[in-house]
Amino acid sequence: MKITPLGDTLGAQVDNIDLSQLSEAEFAALYQAFLRYKVLFFREQPLSTDNHVALAKRFGELEPPHPFFPHLPDNEQVVVIETSRGNPPSQSYWHTDMTWQAVPPKCSVLHAQYVPEHGGDTIWCDMAAVWADLTDKEKIELRELDTIHALHAVEGSRYDHQDADGQSVVSKRAQDYPPIRRAMVQTHPETGQEVLFINEQFTRTIADWPEADSQQRLATLFSQARQSKYHVRFRWQKHSVAIWDNRATQHYAVTDYGDTPRRLHRVTVQGERSQ
């Protein structure tokens, strides 16, 4: 196994490995690299659905089926992220997966089935590095703040449709996921790093702040996180795999490929209850 760092703290490519048959020693080394680099990339991994699910289970218990995203007919825990002719991707946002639920996921394992020849990259952001670069004064302020995370931006997207009563299915299901209040700054449960745990898609406001002040402060922090020095960008190929730590990153899907067919399968691992 060869691990090649792509940045000081974020991203590494792993070669000379078969994810379908990892030994205990290989997985232990892989897991330490996952904690250190936050997102790992692999090429030429023709995983079966069973292989994909088994790999994700080595990281922890799997999330239940996603309430909105489509999934494989024979396995509800394998989300299908697909673009087809006449069905281009929805608007993309920087996001950390599912922070609208009480316990956000630990990590995800994304496997490319087929991708465009050009375009469709994904970018990850190291939110621990973003936090580390803030001033001491900012850190003192932000450690005292909570934020409100809520499910939005999915309503009206390609993952939504109207039911027989003409109502948004996403809007109705979202009633099962009320807004969540959580600390803006989280301590990673395994590395001990402090993380600025906000994201552009699901962090709605700073709790107990006036709306205008809240949006201005969040915009400043989001702008900081958009700086390329915190990022790693991955160009997908058929059978590529990415595994990322959802507790320490945001990511962004680049939608620059129109409706060129693209299909990826995602399996997501549950987070710790202390999150």
- Find out whether 266 and 79 touch, Cβ atoms under 8 Å: yes
Provide block-wise average pLDDT over 10 residues at a time, the chain (275 residues): 94 98 97 98 97 98 89 93 92 94 96 96 98 98 97 58 63 78 97 97 96 98 97 98 98 96 98 73
pLDDT for 122: 98
Instruction: Let me know if 165 is a catalytic residue.
Output: no
For 210, the token pair is 């006036």
Helix (H, G, I), strand (E, B), or coil: what is residue 30?
helix
Q: Which residue has the tokens 């745990």?
A: 197
What are the φ/ψ torsions at residue 14 (nearest 5 degrees)? -115, 125
pLDDT for 176: 77
Instruction: Let me know if 136 is a catalytic residue.
Output: no
Strand segments, DSSP code E, in 45-102 are 71-72, 75-83
In sign, the C-alpha dihedral spanning 13, 15, 19, 21 is negative
What are the φ/ψ torsions at residue 176 (nearest 5 degrees)? -80, -5
Q: Does an H or E element contain 84, and which? A: none
Q: Please tell me the distance from the alpha carbon of residue 89 to that of residue 225, in angstroms, as a whole number.
A: 23
Which is catalytic among the residues 188, 251, 262, 265?
251
Which is catalytic among the residues 52, 204, 217, 266?
266
Instruction: Let me know if 66 is a catalytic residue.
Output: no
Q: The CATH number of 2-269 is which of 3.40.109.10, 4.10.320.10, 3.60.130.10, 1.10.540.10?
A: 3.60.130.10
Cα maximum dimension of the chain: 55
Helix (H, G, I), strand (E, B), or coil: what is residue 252?
strand
What are the φ/ψ torsions at residue 42 (nearest 5 degrees)? -135, 145
pLDDT for 67: 84
Q: Please tell me the distance from the alpha carbon of residue 152 to that of residue 201, in angstroms, as a whole number.
A: 8
Which is catalytic among the residues 97, 182, 231, 247?
97
Laid out side by side, the sheet with 122-126 consists of 231-234, 122-126, 249-253
Q: Please tell me the distance from the alpha carbon of residue 61 to that of residue 272, in angstroms, as a whole number.
A: 10
Integer Rg of the chain from CA: 18
Give Cα separations from 99 to 44, 65, 109, 245 (angstroms): 31, 16, 17, 13
pLDDT for 274: 58
Q: Residue 182 half-sphere exposure, CB side, CA atoms within 13 Å? A: 25
Give the domain ranges of the chain. 2-269
Instruction: Let me know if 262 is a catalytic residue.
Output: no
- Find out whether 9 and 128 touch, Cβ atoms under 8 Å: yes
No. of helices (H) and no. of strands (E), the chain: 6, 16
| pTM score, whole prediction | 0.93
